[in-house]
Amino acid sequence: VKANLNGTLLPVEDARLPAQDHGVLYGDGLFETLRVYGGRFFRLSAHLERLRLGAAQIALQLPWTDGVLIAALEATGAANGFGDGVLRLTVTRGAGPALPVLDGCGPPNYLITARGLNPQAGSPVSACFAGRHPQASSPAIKSISYQPFVLARAEARQRGFDEALLTVDDTVVESSTGNLFAVIGGRLITPPLDSGCLAGITRAAVLEIAESALGSKGKPLSVEERTGSVRKRDLLRADEVFLTNSVSGIQPVVRLEDHTYRMAPGALTGLLQRLYRELVARETAG
Ligand SMILES: Cc1ncc(COP(=O)(O)O)c(C=O)c1O
């Protein structure tokens, strides 16, 4: 497997960030995970835009143009013979003093790593409530400081579940690796961005297709970004629950705590999965 460190392709074992990099010392950096379909990226510009928005929020000046990053991503995909796979673009603050300060840091580093697709990606998962969401009241940036998500997921695995849903009091924000949707009484509901959830690229695509999809009774499907977020009890009485991210697309939740949903994927989840696959195929067609 080949990685790309600041434009140099090298074996992933040899792709090392300096020990003084504030990404290593303080988790000070950002990342994007991109799914590659037949050698093409889905919504690459949305990923780069989110990276730049996040960078502005943490006062990180990215010295690379989009063209440089796109060429690096393409070269890394090609070096790994993609196809279908996953690339992760990580940017870090760069080397600096061994103090949690911004002064004297930089230049930033970028690192692109590649992995194959897990054949299970997108298949139904079980989930439980675990951990408090870390960004409930601050802007949702895709920080590399993922410790709360890693620990919540570990707790879920220990309890025999696949995924962890992170909560704030009795509201649920998102899962440790994706955004959260529920179908309740024919309405599609998702926590709003000000809940602290990540502004998911897949979430935005699902909202787009849901707006134009038809509901089960032939009426336009109503879509709600529910303020006050989605409560735990709303999810437990929902007809359908699913998670979204770039790697897995739309992932049905088959069981939440001790509640099993009647169908996974449910009818609406199945419809949205099909429409999402079609959207990706259209946008990544050669
Ligand atoms: C915490 C979290 N929320 C949401 C998402 C979904 O984001 P996207 O659809 O842009 O992949 C991810 C993706 O990794 C994530 O880690």
Q: pLDDT class for 90, splitting at 50, 70, 90?
A: very high
Residue-level pLDDT at 136: 54
Residue from 245, 246, 247 to probe ligand 1 pocket by mutation (most atoms less than 8 Å from CB): 245
Task: Supply the DSSP symbol for 95.
Answer: B
CA 170, 143, 198, 34 torsion: positive or negative? negative
CA pair distance 199, 185, nearest whole angstrom? 25
CA pair distance 113, 285, nearest whole angstrom? 24
For residue 104, the CA-to-ligand 1 centroid distance in Å is: 31
Q: pLDDT class for 224, splitting at 50, 70, 90?
A: confident
CA dihedral angle for residue 61, residue 62, residue 63, residue 68, rounded to 10 degrees:
-170
Would you say the pTM of this structure is higher than 0.75?
A: yes
Binding-site residues, ligand 1, Cβ < 6 A: 33, 149, 174, 177-179, 198, 200-203, 244-246
For residue 166, the CA-to-ligand 1 centroid distance in Å is: 13
Residue the block writes with tokens 């990276």:
51
Using CA positions, which residue lies closest to atom 3 of ligand 1?
Answer: 178
- Average pLDDT for 134-144: 69
Residue-level pLDDT at 134: 79
Task: Supply the DSSP symbol for 140.
Answer: -
For residue 121, the CA-to-ligand 1 centroid distance in Å is: 14
Q: What is the CA radius of gyration of the chain?
A: 19
β-strand pairing of 240-245 with 179-184:
antiparallel
Q: pLDDT class for 87, splitting at 50, 70, 90?
A: very high
Residue-level pLDDT at 225: 83
CA pair distance 265, 186, nearest whole angstrom? 15
Residue ranges with strand state E in 96-142: 109-115, 125-132
Q: pLDDT class for 255, splitting at 50, 70, 90?
A: very high
Residue-level pLDDT at 76: 97
